[in-house]
Amino acid sequence: MNKDGIKEKLSEEAYKVTQEGATEPAFSGEYHATKDDGMYHCIVCGASLFDSNTKFDSRTGWPSFYDTAHNDAVRLAADDSADVSRTEVTCAKCGAHLGHVFEDAPEMPTGQRYCINSCALLFGERKNEGKE
């Protein structure tokens, strides 16, 4: 899908986040407090990204996960854009910016906190998906 097609498909905020690397305001997103059982998918391409079983309340205002839905769900890259060293998380299938991952969740099994923008996600049912 070209950028124009993506722009037509997404809200203005979702476009700015997924295509331009913006961040939605804390506690503003649809999924930051969701506790339903299911799968979080990329809003751009529909790829499975995070299972609700790995979601936790990090009290940061964004959906937080300690692991991905499968080993090839996301790509990680260094991000120094905010004068802070962070690790960007993008969808492995389409490259959409999702958020960042931090190594600051020692109480979680992986120690990681995938801090993801709600507007970059679609929530739905699992379809025989799991950790590969």
In the beta sheet, which residues pair with residue 39? 51, 124
pLDDT in tens, 42-80: 999 999 999 999 999 999 999 999 999 999 999 999 998
- 39, 43, 63, 41: which is closest to 51 by C-alpha? 39
The count of domains in the chain is: 1
Q: How far apart are the first and last CA of the chain?
A: 27
Q: What is the CATH number of the domain that holds 64?
A: 2.170.150.20
131 in a structural domain: no
pLDDT for residue 36: 95
Q: Is the pLDDT of residue 129 over 60?
A: no
Pick the closest to residue 125 from 37, 47, 63 (CA basis).
Answer: 37
Given pLDDT bands bounded at 50, 70 and 90, which one contains residue 126? confident
Report which of residues 127 and 6 the model is more confident about.
6
Q: Is 46 within the bounds of a domain?
A: yes
- pTM for this prediction: 0.91
In a domain, 129, yes or no: no
Residue ranges with strand state E in the chain? 39-42, 48-51, 55-56, 64-65, 74-79, 86-91, 97-102, 113-116, 121-124
* 114: in domain: yes
User: Which residue(s) pair with 93 in the sheet?
Assistant: none
The yes-or-no answer on residue 115 being catalytic is yes
Three-class SS of residue 22? coil
| Model pLDDT for residues 100-120, shown as the tens digit of each residue | 999 999 999 999 999 999 999
Q: To the nearest whole percent, how much of the chain has pLDDT over 90?
A: 86
pLDDT over 80 (residue 18):
yes
pLDDT cut 70: percent of the chain above it:
93
For the ranges 31-35, 64-68, 122-126, the maximum mean pLDDT occurs at 64-68
Residue 97 lies in a domain: yes
Determine the pLDDT at residue 5.
85
Distance of CA 71 to the CA centre of its chain: 14
Alpha helices in the chain (DSSP H): 3-9, 12-20
Residue 132 has pLDDT above 50, yes or no: no
Q: Which domain holds residue 110?
A: 3-124
Question: Considering the domain boundaries, does residue 40 fall inside one?
Answer: yes
Rounded Cα–Cα distance for residues 121 and 104 (Å): 22
Asked whether residue 104 is domain-assigned, the answer is yes
Specify if 132 maps to a domain.
no
Question: Which of 42, 45, 91, 115 is an active site residue?
Answer: 115
